[in-house]
Amino acid sequence: MHNHDFDLLHLNAVEAEEGQDASSEVVLHEVAQQRSARGPAMLVSIAGHTDAGRLSEQLSEYLLATLPNRQVASFDVDAIFDYRSRRPQLTFTESRFSDYRGPALELYEVEDSLGRKFLLLTGDEPDFQWERITETLIELVKQLGVRLTVFTDALGLPAPHTRPLGVTAHGNRPDLIEGISTWQPNAHVEAGLVQVLEARLDESGHDVVGYTVHVPHYLAAGKYPPVAVAALEYAGAAGELMLPTDELREAARMVDSDISEQVSQNPQIAAVVEQLERNFDQYATPQQRSLLVKDNEAVPDAEELGAAVEEYLRTQPGDVIFGQAAHDDAEAPSSETDTSEDTPPEDDSGDTKR
């Protein structure tokens, strides 16, 4: 192992106050010394194109706020991100700029509720150097003796919020996959870093499992706590970890109550939800609760994913349910949302039949 294998990483030594260099050997030795005999699990949740309901943000913020943790490493952001393609945010107050929030991709060592250590890779999906990042992470998995890498992400699908969230399980561990999936399509899909990393870890002989949770399409842009609860349940069970969900469950109950109230007050939305329920119930079975695909198993296109809902969004920009900023604070749901982004082309048919 040579330092150039980790030249994209900033590695954090535990005993920095004693003047230790944060070399790869020092940091890996520190983490390896503290791991269990079986090796840690690594949970991967990265914000990218499969992050419906803002899953990654919720998962990382909640775990790092509720469980003991320390940052082990971070990737060199200047080497892997295109700042102009998605500009970072900062705050301007009267006459000064502050609170710069740039992109990040970070690795943490976390203790679950029973004191068992695991690794958490979280942050933003990089724009560049996927191959080198993947090689670096595979080397980390080898050096740290990671026994299982668990991926969590989420897709927006035409499922009603009144039915259980579905999931697609994937990976090379049949004991953690069989009987779990509610939808198993055969399709060419757009790749993200997490999909590439899962495939490469699988090819190199490491144990991997992933859970892609299905989020109602019309709630995919905003923060949706139920998807975080579901992801933590799957990840905890697969990784044999005790991960807290109490506060997220309470937030999910509040969001569900708010959604139900608003749906009941708007006949147009209620009609769309009822149509989605009929589609869901027609194609679902007790073993496949979110099988919402056509007979040829093609993924429905954007126009078919609740066109009537999208039409309503264009005419009701302040609706709390469907905006990008919906429920940024789950304990006090906001009444203002931004629905300007990710709006599919108009479709006047509103037809959601399969």
173-213 pLDDT, tens digit per residue, is 999 999 899 888 899 999 999 999 999 999 999 999 999 99
Strands (E) in the chain, as ranges, are: 9-11, 41-47, 69-75, 89-93, 96-101, 105-111, 117-124, 148-157, 167-171, 208-216
Count CB-CB contacts under 10 A for residue 112: 19
The band of 313, judged by pLDDT with boundaries at 50, 70 and 90, is: very low
**pLDDT at residue 329 in the model:** 40
The band of 348, judged by pLDDT with boundaries at 50, 70 and 90, is: very low
Q: Which residue has the higher pLDDT, 349 or 146?
A: 146
Closest CA to 230 of 316, 175, 161, 166: 166
What digits encode the pLDDT tens for the residues 254-300? 999 999 999 999 999 999 999 999 998 887 755 543 323 334 444 44
Q: Which residue has the higher pLDDT, 349 or 205?
A: 205
Rounded to an integer, the average pLDDT of 232-250 is 96
What digits encode the pLDDT tens for the residues 6-34? 889 988 765 444 445 555 555 555 655 55
Instruction: Enumerate domains of the chain plus CATH numbers.
Output: 3-245 (3.40.50.10900)
